[in-house]
Amino acid sequence: MAAARSLAQLIRERRSVRAYSGQAIPAAAFTELGAACGALTRGPLGTECRILLLSNVWTIWGARHFLAGAARGGPHALADLGRLLEELVLRACGLSLGTCWIGLGFPQAAFAEALALAPEETLPAVIAVGVPSGRTTAYGLAARLATGASRRKPWGELFFDGNFRAPLSVPGGPPAAVPPGPGAGPFALALEMVRLAPSAQNRQPWRVVREGPEERARYHFFRQQPAGPLSSRPDWLRLDVGIAMAHFELALAEAGVRGRWSADGPLPVLPLPPRTDYVASWLPEERP
């Protein structure tokens, strides 16, 4: 039996799959993933969410199954839903299933009916899930090239120390240096997992500011709205920040580092850069 892969391995291996075999998900994997959906009912910032593993609502790229989540409206709905859905994406990856986030072009009416979507709920995206075909399609290659999916911003553009004028250094190197190696501490590894998180059009809209000494630091997550096509739909970027929050929290949990999320704004990092606003903070677990 193959050894279980670490979260860091799953994140580094995960790719958006746009070619599926057309086969049903194996029964054991379907049951496990469905049970995980049922267990994730509230986001870390308090939003009530419903996530289902649906079959045969739609077919695209040969995928027959989809993760679809609904969140009750509120200021944290999209960040909370992104946080929960990305945990399921990583669970699916651990089950050797392929996934792909789909935020545009899916039949919203069909999914809303399958979810019994309430008027106060939002359905921002769905996630294709299935057995990868192993083929690289022309569409998939074009999509990957168009979004620059293999490119990620350097540390110095994403992570900051105390305020947005001080880029956070990579352990063992200067700001914007090479990513931390396997021997890096849990926070360095968690931030590297944030850097590798997927986002719409690979915009990577999250920015993280560390406040305080490393061992007891708070990490403040912000949304930076880019210029361009997504500028008219800035709320969608909160879904991406939720994905980044999942990578950070789950990587720390795997390393045995506990904490919680809060939406209380961090005054020490003000003023903010243009088109940047606060989303949430990760706070270390209080010591007895």
Q: What pLDDT shows up at residue 236?
A: 80
Flag whether 63 is in a domain: yes
> What are 115-125's pLDDT values in tens digits?
999 999 999 99
pLDDT tens digit sequence for 160-199? 998 999 898 776 555 444 556 554 568 999 999 999 999 9
Closest CA to 33 of 62, 67, 58: 67
Strand positions, DSSP E, the chain: 49-60, 63-72, 98-102, 121-122, 126-130, 159-161, 206-211, 218-224, 259-262, 276-284
Same domain, 114 and 181: no
Question: Residue 169: what pLDDT?
Answer: 79
Query: In 3-state terms, what secondary structure has residue 283?
Result: strand
Computed over every residue of the chain, the mean pLDDT equals 87
The label of the residue with tokens 């960040």 reads 79
In this structure, the answer to whether residues 21 and 125 fall within a common structural domain is yes
Instruction: Tell me: do 155 and 275 sit in the same domain.
Output: yes
Is 107 inside any structural domain? yes
Same-domain status, 94 and 76:
yes
**Structure confidence at residue 147 as a pLDDT band (50, 70, 90):** very low
Please determine, for residue 56, whether its predicted confidence score (pLDDT) is greater than 80.
Answer: yes
Domain boundary among 114, 142, 170: 142
User: For residue 66, what is the domain's CATH number?
Assistant: 3.40.109.10
Residue 216 shares a structural domain with residue 122: no
**At which of 142, 176, 200 does a domain end?**
142
Q: Which tens digit of pLDDT belongs to each residue from 5-52?
A: 899 999 999 999 999 999 999 999 999 999 999 999 999 999 999 999
The answer, yes or no, to whether residue 98 has pLDDT greater than 60, is yes
Q: Domain of 201: which CATH number?
A: 3.40.109.30
Is 146 or 150 the better-scoring residue by pLDDT?
A: 150
Domain boundary among 85, 111, 142: 142
Average pLDDT over residues 151-156: 89
In this model, does residue 140 exceed pLDDT 80?
no
In a domain, 74, yes or no: yes
Q: Quick one: 133 and 177 in the same domain?
A: no
In this predicted structure, the answer to whether residue 146 has a pLDDT above a threshold of 50 is no
| 278: nearest Cα among 164, 170, 167, 202 | 164
Residue 189 lies in a domain: yes
Task: Quickly list DSSP for 74-110.
Answer: STTHHHHHHHHHHHHHHHHHHTT-EEEEE-SSS-HHH
Report helix angle 186-195 to 236-254, nearest 10: 150
215 in the same domain as 133: no
Note whether 92 and 184 are same-domain residues.
no
Total of domains in the chain: 2
Residues 124 and 104 in one domain: yes
Name the residue range of residue 226's domain: 151-284
Is the entire prediction scored with pTM above 0.95?
no
In a domain, 2, yes or no: no
Asked whether residue 119 is domain-assigned, the answer is: yes
Cβ atoms 93, 17 nearer than 8 A: no
In the structure, what pLDDT confidence band is assigned to residue 4 with cuts at 50, 70 and 90?
Answer: confident
pLDDT in tens, 222-256: 999 977 655 556 678 999 999 999 999 999 999 99
Same structural domain, 79 and 60: yes
Is 137 in the same domain as 156? no
Residue 219 above 60 pLDDT? yes
- Residue 1 falls inside a structural domain: no
Do 220 and 168 share a structural domain?
A: yes
Rounded CA gap, 107 and 112, in Å? 9
Q: 126 in a domain, yes or no?
A: yes
